[in-house]
A and B are shown apart, each in its own frame.
Chain A
Amino acid sequence: MSEPAPSAQTRRDEVLVRIRGLRFRRGERVIFDGVDMDIRRGQVTAVMGPSGTGKTTLLRLIGGQLRPEAGTVEVDGQDVHRLGRRALYALRRRMGMLFQSGALLTDLDVFENVAFPLREHTRLPERMIRDLVLMKLEAVGLRGARRLMPAELSGGMARRVALARAIALDPMMVMYDEPFTGQDPISMGVLLQLIRLLNDALGLTSIVVSHDVQETAAIADYIYVIAGGRVVEHGPPEALARSPSPWVQQFMQGLPDGPVPFHYPAPDYAADLLEGVP
């Protein structure tokens, strides 16, 4: 007899990305010092933290573009940093990534940018590529912009095209690197809605790295807050809102002063001013 099919609940609880004891440093600077995370299938998981805490680095570690000093990153049961090049590339075909800048190929138009992974990795006939690209562009609302060049797109449109490209090969997960930075409120709303809708409609797993706290918390199922190389808090958005940690409260509410001081460490103000007096 075969194993019974897992119920919807157990499948939902499965972990797609498992990070254990992750350590990474750039030169002398320790970026991660023992980070543990579980990214569950089918969920939108947000990774938040102040600028410069290595959120983008985390995505690059998951994607195998960087190697950790210690610890493991497992994606769909495979240890990313033990894979050979061929296996890593096979795994990456099942991961989409949306870069902060969009990272569209500037010499190709919108259509060709979305068609790029299809042309590189499949031998589909031209008609089918056209249909697939139009479907992906329709999903992000830019079917009509297919002949525009990347330089003609607004920042928000460029990210939507990059999103269409990221889902072109129907990946199991999509990683978003600061998708809302520099967006006007309308573009931001569109992107927020797209991330949630695509995640649910396509059965994706999404990792959103961001420091736009309120917006990201609105669409996330689970949030990790990292700072100082460690996970300082994690849980569903409503649990985080009730966190007893003053640091988390300051971060979530965007308060200018608190455990993270407004002032960069400096000598005494009065002494500093008087030092210039002859």
Chain B
Amino acid sequence: MTAWLQRLGRRGIGFFERLGRGHLFLLRVLAALPAALARPRLLVAQLHAVGVRTLLIIGVSGLFVGMVLGLQGYNTLVDFGAEESLGVVVALSLVRELGPVVSALLFAGRAGSALTAEIGLMKATEQLSGMEMMAVDPLERVVAPRFVAGLVAMPLLAAIFSVVGVYGGWFVGVGLLGVDDGAFWSQMQAQVDLHDDVYNGVVKSLVFGFVASWIALFEGYDAVPTSEGVGRATTRTVVHTALAVLGLDFVLTALMFE
């Protein structure tokens, strides 16, 4: 019994210690942001690595999610003779929920895991230590530009996901199932609100981008510098980001659409 309690206590302390380290890390990254922003070339390189390289999976997934939404939405709506509202259903689902959430999950799997592995390996091969000894702060040179890139890329990726998804829904609904083209777009235009729906979706994806980048970079920076340690850190990035994104999504939705 005492051994069990001891183990529980140790785990609890370990958890809070790590939480504290994570927050201190975030503060240091935020303090390093001005220096990172002053070097646009580093930012552009990271935007390419984090954003552009995630584009393909975002585009393809967006297309399929939109097509499924079109199909499912049509099958439900047609029973009520409301298939002309398909555009609204597809667009609202994507802009409010699926765009930010699914693209954040894909971001964690594609870009987040890559960030963790890259920084973890840089740590394992003493590249970060080497930079420190060359009087270069790795937080300014390596971490902060990646953080900004994640923050900027996430809303853009979510927007692309939603746009491609809407076209996927349109292709299935209008192109294959015969929903009226004009009704599809005009109802969408009338019902989707710029402030309530689109802006709120953007806010969500900004929050998800912040959290996903933070987790991925911290896991890499805090990884045990061995191949096993980096592997574990990469897994943790994907799992923790997914949980954080889904949990935060509920909180944000409750706050935004109450």
Contact = CB atoms under 8 A, between A and B. Distances in A.
Interface in B120-155: 121-122, 125-127, 129-130, 132-137, 141
A65 B132 contact: yes
Nearest to B142: A105
Nearest to B132: A65
Given A97-B130, A99-B130, A103-B130, A117 B136 contact: yes
Contact of A105 (B127, B132, B133, B137): B127
A127 interface: no
Contact of B134 (A101, A106, A120): A120
A103 B126 contact: yes
A117 B141 CA distance: 12
Interface string A68-89: 0000000000000000000001
Q: Is the interface of A mostly helix, strand, loop or mixed?
A: mixed
A99 B126 contact: yes
B257 to A, nearest CB: 43
B133 A65 contact: yes
Contacts of A121: 135-136
Contact of A97 (B122, B133, B141): B133
B22 to A, nearest CB: 21
A60 B129 CA distance: 9
Chain B contact residues (Cβ within 8 angstroms of A): what range? 10 to 19
Contacts of B137: 89
A61 B136 CA distance: 17
B125 A120 contact: no
Interface of B: 121-122, 125-127, 129-130, 132-137, 141
Contact of A106 (B127, B133, B136): B127
Contacts of B135: 89-90, 92-93, 117, 120-121
A101 B126 contact: yes
A264 B92 CA distance: 69
Nearest to A105: B127
A121 B122 CA distance: 21
A97 B129 CA distance: 10
B136 A65 contact: no
8 contacts: A65-B132, A65-B133, A92-B135, A97-B130, A99-B129, A99-B133, A103-B125, A105-B127
B133 A120 contact: no
A106 to B, nearest CB: 7
B133 A92 contact: yes
Contacts of B126: 99-101, 103
Q: 9 tightest CB-CB pairs across the interface, nearest first?
A: A103-B130, A103-B126, A92-B135, A89-B135, A97-B133, A93-B135, A99-B126, A117-B134, A120-B136
A89 B138 CA distance: 12
B134 A65 contact: no
Given A117-B135, A117-B136, 15 more contacts: A63-B133, A65-B129, A65-B133, A90-B135, A93-B134, A95-B133, A99-B130, A101-B126, A103-B125, A103-B129, A103-B130, A116-B134, A116-B136, A162-B130, A165-B134
A103 B141 contact: no
A105 to B, nearest CB: 6
**Most chain A CB inside 10 Å of its own CB: which residue of B121, B125, B135, B136:** B135
Contacts of B130: 97, 99, 103-105, 162
Interface string A100-134: 11011110000000001100110000000000000
A176 to B, nearest CB: 12
Nearest to B136: A120
B132 to A, nearest CB: 6
Nearest to B137: A89
Nearest to A100: B126
Nearest to A59: B133
Contacts of B127: 103-106
Contacts of A103: 125-127, 129-130
Nearest to B45: A107
A266 B233 CA distance: 37
Nearest to A169: B134
Contact of B141 (A65, A99, A120, A162): A120
A181 to B, nearest CB: 13
Among B121, B130, B132, B141, which residue has the most Cβ atoms of chain A within 10 A?
B130
